[in-house]
Amino acid sequence: MPDEPLIKSRPTYTEVSLRPNTQKHLFVSTAQSLSRIRSLYEAAPKGEKALYLFGKPEVTDLGTECGSLSELDVVINALPLASAVYVAGDEGFLWDVHNLAEKAGLASEQIQLLAPESNKRRLFCTHCYAITEEVTYSPHACSGCGRLLLVRDHYSKLHGAYVGVQINAEDPADIPETEELV
């Protein structure tokens, strides 16, 4: 079991396993994370599973289908009520898919998220509301307004992003040392 986070809004990820009594198992993954979800996919009963893949995989022996989030929204909305969704990828992707599934009426316990594949974070700027992808250090310049943001451990599930606030608002010349995110 992972350590309890210091900040309660930071997501925790538990062990993922096949849900019993499920009509349809939907596996959603980025191409880079396919190997992380593959054994779970292969353990699901034939005829009761589907794999939806984002990006171009090097190996397509699973009969994968590449698509977009809007196409995935249609797929999730067509699932039977007794379905389960399993998601692998970076943290922003995990929560994009989670939010789509909840919007379609699935309960949180029907949606299982594998731990993110990297420490890359999606950053939400509290000043201009821009989203910056693949942030690995703090402070980080906002892609929208250019402000130097402190990357907080506070996580917004709505945005699938960590919250960033201007770190040097009182003195723009005060630029703190850069730290890698963990």
User: Looking at the domain assignment, is residue 134 inside a domain?
Assistant: yes
Indicate the residue among 79, 94, 113 that finishes a domain: 113
109 and 129: one domain? no
Statement: residue 93 has pLDDT above 50: yes
Structure tokens at 39: 């054994």
Distance between CA atoms of 181 and 91, rounded to whole angstroms? 13
32 and 100: one domain? yes
Q: Are strands 49-54 and 83-88 parallel, antiparallel or unpaired?
A: unpaired
Structure tokens at 161: 């992003």
134 and 72: one domain? no
Domain limits for position 38: 24-113
Letter string b/e over residues 11-42, b meaning 16 or more CB atoms within 10 A of that residue's CB: eeeeebebbeebebbbbbbbbbbbebbbebbe
pLDDT in tens, 32-89: 888 899 999 999 998 888 888 887 655 555 555 556 788 888 889 999 999 999 999 9
SS3 state of residue 106: coil
Cα angle, residue 8 at apex, residues 6 and 11 outer, rounded to 5°? 100
User: Looking at the domain assignment, is residue 52 inside a domain?
Assistant: yes
36 and 94: one domain? yes
User: Looking at the domain assignment, is residue 16 inside a domain?
Assistant: no
104 and 135: one domain? no
127 and 97: one domain? no
User: Looking at the domain assignment, is residue 17 inside a domain?
Assistant: no
pLDDT in tens, 111-164: 999 999 888 999 999 999 999 999 999 999 999 999 999 999 899 988 889 999
Which residues, in sequence order, are CB contacts of 109 under 8 Å at separation 6+? none
CATH number at residue 47: 3.40.50.80
Which residues, in sequence order, are CB contacts of 173 under 8 Å at separation 6+? none
